[in-house]
Amino acid sequence: MIKLSLHKIAIALITLTLLSSCDAVQNANNTQKGAVIGTTAGAVLGGVLGNNIGNKENSVLGAVIGGVVGGVAGGVIGKQMDKQAQKIEEEIPGAEVTRIGEGIDIVFDETSGVYFDTNKHDINTKSQENLNKLAGIFKEYPDTNIIVEGHTDSSGNDAYNLELSKKRANSVTNYLIAQGISKERLTTYFHGETLPKYDNSTAEGRAKNRRVEFGILANDKMIDEAKKKVD
C-alpha cells in the first residue's frame, strides 16, 4: 500500500523543480506551471508515478500527469482548466479540487457530499445533488475527458473491497451518463483499498479513504486547438 499521498508527492516535485528553474517561475500560477511541467518536471514525475502506481495510466493522477502536453500549448490548456476548477469549487464547496499540471483532480469522501452507505453502491439523494452539479459543469466544458475512480478503506478482504470499489465507480459513471454526459468521455478505474490517501488505522482516515475521485484532462480537440493558438 502507498502510505504517502501521490498528490503530495507530485505537487512537491513540481514545486521543487519549478523553484530550481528560474526566478520568474517561482511565482507562477497554475496555468504557467502547466506549461512548465512538460519540459522540466515531466521526467521526475513520470519516474515517481511509475514506481508508485505501476501502470500510471490506471489512476487519476497517473492519467492527468501522463496526458501533459507541456510548453506554451500546455499553458493554454492550463488556463481553461483553471476556470473549470474554480467553477467546481464555487458550485460544490465540499469537493476537494486540486489543479495538477494541465488537469484537475476532484475528491469526494464521506464528508463532502458524494459518498455511499456501508457496503452499498447505490447513489443516495445527497450524492445525486452534487453529481448533478458536476454533470452541469462537465457540459459547460465539453472538450475534456473524465476519469471516475473508486476507492475503499482497508476494512474487509481485498477481493471484496476491489469489487465494491468497482460497483461504486460504475454507479457514478452510469449516473453521469444518465445526466447526459457522453460515455465516450468517461473512463472508470477501481482500486479497492490499494491507494489510500489517509491512515486506515483511524475512523476518520477510513471515512476519507471511502471515496470517489475524478480526473479531468484535455481531449484531442482541446489539445489540437491549444496547439493551433501557439503555431
| Residues 155-202: tens digit of each pLDDT | 989 999 999 999 999 999 999 999 999 999 999 999 999 999 899 999
Give the pLDDT band of residue 29 (cuts 50, 70, 90): very low
Place of cell 479531468: 216
Here the cell at position 91 is 458550485
130-157 per-position pLDDT tens digit: 999 999 999 999 999 999 999 999 998 9
CA nearest neighbour of 74 among 63, 82, 85: 82
43-100 per-position pLDDT tens digit: 334 333 433 443 444 778 777 777 777 888 889 999 999 999 999 999 998 899 999 8
| pTM, entire model | 0.75
State residue 146's pLDDT score: 96
Query: Rounded distance, CA 131 to CA 159, Å?
Result: 27
Between helix 6-19 and helix 42-53 the angle, nearest 10°, is 160
Is residue 40 predicted with pLDDT exceeding 70? no
CA nearest neighbour of 219 among 193, 187, 197, 196: 187
User: Which domains occur in the chain, in start order?
Assistant: 6-230 (3.30.1330.60)
Q: Provide the strand spans (E) within the chain.
A: 96-100, 103-108, 144-150, 186-190, 212-218
Judge residue 201's burial from the number of C-beta atoms within 10 Å of its C-beta, 0-12 exposed, 13-18 middle, 19 or more buried: exposed
